[in-house]
Structure 1
Amino acid sequence: MLTLMIYPSAFGLFSASPFCVKAAYMLEHAGQRWQRSDMLDPRKMPHQKLPVLRTPERLVPDSDLIRDWLEAQGANFDTGLSDIQKAQARTLIRMAEEHIYFQVVQDRWANDEVWPILRKTFFSVIPALIRTPASNSIRKKVVQGLGFQGVGRFSPAERQDRLERDLEAISAYLWQSPYLLGDRPTSADMSVGPMLAAMRATPVETPLTQRIKQDRLLNDYVDRMEQAIPLP
């Protein structure tokens, strides 16, 4: 049986990480037999990140590489899509994972109201004596990374404006069909859906959580994705 190593459930989500949810969606869609294995410290994993899929032959890191492995076993996440639609799916995935994701990270890790909840949720395994300095050090590195990436350099209004354009693009697709590229979930939905769900689930009311919750089109889409591919 395959084992998917992921971050634990949090904030009402299957996993705190939308990339881990994406990998689980792909495994379910592919009809694979698999089990989850939760962990909080991925430093011994390839790439030092999660998700990682344990197969009989090797460890497969990264959700994109997990997709490649599943497709090599015969999975097809974009059945029925034209070449143009497959290109659109790729573009939507990159928008979600290379821009929207960092908006979610900023909303969680750089927010002083959210941080105490994150520390309690993700760092409880660290001995109490060093928990605060160790977690603060990790937080500092994450926030610095947001600066290097670019999202952290913008004002809140500038970040909101950039995100709004992404959400408008997603909404334009959803006005046409229940999922981004048709009547059933494809690879694009397995990435975009978990990303919007993560944005909605941040455990403090922020402009980003409210933006999803108050938008019926996007809110219903997140719920529909969770119902379309139920996770164990």
Structure 2
Amino acid sequence: MLTLFSWPEMFGLADNNPYGLKVFAFLKLCRVPFRHEHVMDASRAPHGQLPYIDDDGRIIGDSDAIIAHLIARHGLPIDAALTPAQRDTDHLLRRMLDDLYWVMSYSRWRDDRFWPAFRDAFLRFHPPVAPQALETARAYNFTRYHAQGIGRLAPDEAFARGIADLEVLSHLVPEKGFLFGPQPCSTDAGLYGFLANILLFEIDTPLKRHLMSRPNLVAHCRAMHGLVTGG
């Protein structure tokens, strides 16, 4: 059976990382049977990053590569009806979500206003994790943020980037249904991975406040959450 390896769950989400949650949601939407294994060590993953899958011995990393592989191997029709223009929009949205990832991660690990709440919540959900391990991870993330560039920004400047991304999403997501119609596609799984990791986290960041002010984004997230969790 296919196995998905991803980071641990938090706040009722199957993965506290948007890329792992994206793949989880995709598998659920497509009703592909799979095992879900939560790991804290990404050293065995392709490129040292989660998520990845083991599909009958074939190891594939990167959420987009995983989804492309699954669609091709299993003949999944989830995106079959998309037009060329919609596929272009999907591509652009995925790249914008890559930008939003850094702001979301920054809000948890870098900003001193929200780090204590994230740290305490993580330790509450995962008691075996040593507090020092999180401090080590935080220091590692600081180097990543500096190299990427967002770590060189003041908090308000960093959040402005993510808020701008959310605002564009609010212009594209309809008030009812999903991005391209009444049925979700793989793009909706990607949106859910990010929106849920902001909206359903019980940490009141500027990203969450902005998202909550956009009813269509909230409705999309909650509709997807219902489909994915059966609730």
Aligned residues between the structures: 227
Between the aligned partners of 2:3 and 2:85, the Cα distance in structure 1 is 34
SS at match of 2:219: helix
Report how far residue 156 of structure 1 moved.
2.8
Deviates more, 1:84-93 or 1:159-168: 159-168
Aligned position for 2:19: 19
In structure 2, the partner of 1:55 is 55
SS in 1 for 2:229: coil
Q: Report the Cα offset of residue 160 of structure 1.
A: 3.2
Instruction: Give the superposition deviation at 1:16.
Output: 0.8
1:34-72 per-residue CA deviation (whole Å, 9 max, x = no partner) reads: 111111122222222211111113222221121122022
One-letter identity of the residue aligned with 2:29: H
Alignment of 1:203-214 (within 5 A): 203-214=202-213
The match for 1:87 is 88
What's the secondary structure of 1:11's corresponding residue? coil
Post-superposition offset of 1:154: 2.3
- Match status 1:30 vs 2:25: no
Q: Does 1:78 align with 2:79?
A: yes
8 Å CA contact retained: 1:26, 1:190: yes
How does 1:79-228 map onto structure 2 within 5 Å? 79-96=80-97, 98-120=98-120, 121=122, 124-126=127-129, 131-132=131-132, 134-175=133-174, 178-228=177-227
Question: How far off its partner does 1:231 sit?
Answer: 6.3
Does the Cα contact within 8 Å between 1:171 and 1:217 map onto a contact in 2? Answer: yes
- Distance across 2 between alignment mates of 1:135 and 1:31: 34
Shift of 1:87: 0.8
Residues in 2 aligned to 1:185 and 1:177: alpha-carbon distance in whole angstroms: 11
Q: Distance in 2 between matches of 1:145 and 1:26?
A: 28
Percent identity over the alignment? Answer: 28
> Helix, strand or coil: the match of 1:189?
helix
Unaligned ranges ≥5, structure 1: none
- How much is the aligned-residue C-alpha RMSD, in angstroms? 2.3
- Partners of 2:160 and 2:205 lie apart in 1 by 15
What displacement does 1:125 show?
3.7
Deviation at 1:75, TM superposition (A): 1.7
For the Cα contact (< 8 Å) 1:173–1:181, is it kept in 2?
no
TM-score normalised to structure 2 length: 0.87
* Residues 72-99 of structure 1 deviation map (CA, whole Å, 9 limit, x = unaligned): 2112332211111111111111111x21
Structure 2 counterpart SS, 1:4: strand
User: Alpha-carbon deviation of 1:22?
Assistant: 0.9
